[in-house]
Amino acid sequence: MKRKIERVLVTGGAGFIGSHLCRRLLQEGCEVLVFDNLLTGRMSNIEELLGHPKFRFKHYDVTNYLYVEGELDAILHFASPASPADFERLPIQILKVGSLGTHKALGLAKAKGARLLLASTSECYGDPEVNPQPETYWGNVNPIGIRGVYDEAKRFAEAMTMAYHRHHQVDARIVRIFNTFGPRMQLNDGRAIPNFFRQAIRGEDITVYGDGSQTRSFCYVEDLVEGIWRLLNCVHVGPVNIGNPNEMTLLGMAKKIIEVTGSKSRIVYEPLPPDDPKVRRPNIDLARKVLDDWHPKVSVEEGLQRTCAYFQAELAQEKKSK
């Protein structure tokens, strides 16, 4: 059913994607409440929003009891550490927010009659044996590997969301987010683009794992947020891939970032981490069908130019503060 989205809770709203979503929601005229324990989110991501009359922030761990006064039209559950560096550093927290946090968010959605949009991930497909990956593909995941804490937390979150939809009639949406980049990513994120930018701007060797032939599909955050907004307002229930279907190798991305930054860095190679996906590319046919022909509009090259300025400023500030 269609509904007007006016008052929204964003869990993890101080994170990379969450903070971009908050801005979009405010632009759409929504009142935005953010709960974030700042484990990986940063106040600097939302600092400029704190004075907005329709924005409220609460430092809170959403794995605890979740309560909001008044009416609520939607909950966007984006709370979770999400970078490879976090898989080893914060495994229990990832599992807890994917399970307990999702349970609390769904309970609140049920109590308020709110629509819940779950931030899921392409990691649900694991190291896929099908390329590109459609929503109908069940994946190839190692549940006890290092990456399993994130993969299985999100797969469980999807299962719980659909259970609440079927059993309690909670109005639910699920976005499977593919590799996304842009301003407000963490410097030490552990993902390819932040790593490459940090190393290139500093003039350090750029680390490529394996031979760099493994592929990813990089979507600029502005396009992702547009897709999420459309998904929040559409009638489709169930997972929808949102990402850029243009596939490229990680070695190719490293070379592009060297070019964008004008760096003299050289590329060095390290062993491939366990269970690192060899391919990652979304089939976005469903998104085109149910999200009014949504597709990425910002090219990778343009997105990298925009992102470069952010990383240069962040690294300059970091150097100054030392």
Q: Which residues are catalytic?
A: 150
Our separate counts of H helices and E strands in the chain read: 10, 13
Q: Which of 6, 65, 14, 52 is nearest to 35 (CA)?
A: 14
Sequence-distant (6+) residues with CB within 8 A of 244 are 178, 179, 217, 218, 219, 220, 223, 282, 296, 300
Kindly provide the residue ranges of all beta strands, DSSP E only, lying in 122-233, ordered along the sequence: 172-177, 180-181, 206-209, 215-216, 219-220
Q: Which of 86, 70, 87, 88 is nearest to 33 (CA)?
A: 70
Annotate 142-171 with DSSP letters as a single string.
Answer: -TTSTTHHHHHHHHHHHHHHHHHHHHH---
Sequence-distant (6+) residues with CB within 8 A of 229 are 24, 25, 28
Q: Are 59 and 45 in contact (CB under 8 A)?
A: no
